[in-house]
Amino acid sequence: MLALAALLAAGASQIGGDAGYGGVGPAFLAWAVSALLGGCGLLLLREALSGGFRGMPVDDEADDAADTAAPAPAYWPGFAWVSAGLLLNALLITRIGFILSCALCFALAVRGFKGAQGRGRHGAGAWLRDGLIGMAIAGPVFWMFSKGLAISLPGLTSTGWI
C-alpha cells in the first residue's frame, strides 16, 4: 500500500497545470488519493508490526475446517443484475441524464446484492425506495461535478440542475 501511494505521488508530481476554478488544480485528486493510501499503508504497517488480529478467538479446529471447506458457489443472478445496472447506466446516461441512469444502476445493483444475501423479495416499494436512494446519492455528485468542478455531465434538462 505504501509503494502504491509512492507510485501515485510520483505520477501526481508529473501532472502540470495551474489551479482552476475554486483553487483546485488537475493534480489535486491524485495527491489526495496518494495521501489517503499512504495513511492506510501506515495503519496497515502498524497493525502488522503490533500483532494484528488481536481480537480474534483462537480455534485451531475451525482454521483446519476452513482450509478444507469448498468455496461458496457463485450467485449468477446477482451478477446478472449488477451487470445489467452497469450496462444500462452506460447506455442510458446520455438519454435520461446522469442522475436517473445512476439511480437505475443503484437499484439494479441493490437487487443483485440483496438476492445474493437471500433477501431477494423485491416489491414495488423496495424498487421505489432504492431508486430514491440512488437519486439522493447521484444528485449531489452531479451537482458537485457540474457546478463545483465545472465538469459537464449529461443532464435531463438544459438547466444543468438535473
In a domain, 95, yes or no: yes
Q: Do 63 and 85 lie in a common domain?
A: no
Q: Do 96 and 130 lie in a common domain?
A: yes
Q: Do 90 and 120 lie in a common domain?
A: yes
> Is a pLDDT exceeding 60 seen at residue 82?
yes
Q: Which residue among 13, 47, 68 closes a domain?
A: 68
> Is a pLDDT exceeding 70 seen at residue 123?
yes
Positive or negative: CA dihedral 127, 128, 129, 135: positive
In a domain, 38, yes or no: yes
Q: Do 9 and 60 lie in a common domain?
A: yes
Per the model's pLDDT, the better-predicted residue between 65 and 92 turns out to be 92
- Number of Cβ within 10 Å of residue 2's Cβ equals 13
CA–chain centroid gap for 130, Å, is 16
Per the model's pLDDT, the better-predicted residue between 53 and 113 turns out to be 113
Percent of the chain's residues with pLDDT above 70: 78
pLDDT of residue 2: 94
Q: Do 103 and 127 lie in a common domain?
A: yes
Q: Do 10 and 48 lie in a common domain?
A: yes
Q: Do 103 and 45 lie in a common domain?
A: no
> Is a pLDDT exceeding 70 seen at residue 90?
yes
Share the mean pLDDT of the chain. 82
pLDDT of residue 132: 93
Query: Which pLDDT tens digit goes with each residue over 45-80?
Result: 998 888 877 776 766 655 555 556 667 778 888 899
Of 99, 88, 93, 86, which Cα lies nearest the Cα of 144? 99
pLDDT of residue 65: 56
**pTM of the entire predicted model:** 0.57
Per the model's pLDDT, the better-predicted residue between 4 and 122 turns out to be 4
Rg (CA), the chain: 22
Domain that holds residue 7: 2-68
**How many whole angstroms separate alpha carbon 80 and alpha carbon 74?**
11
Q: Which of 32-36, 93-97, 145-149 has the highest mean pLDDT?
A: 32-36
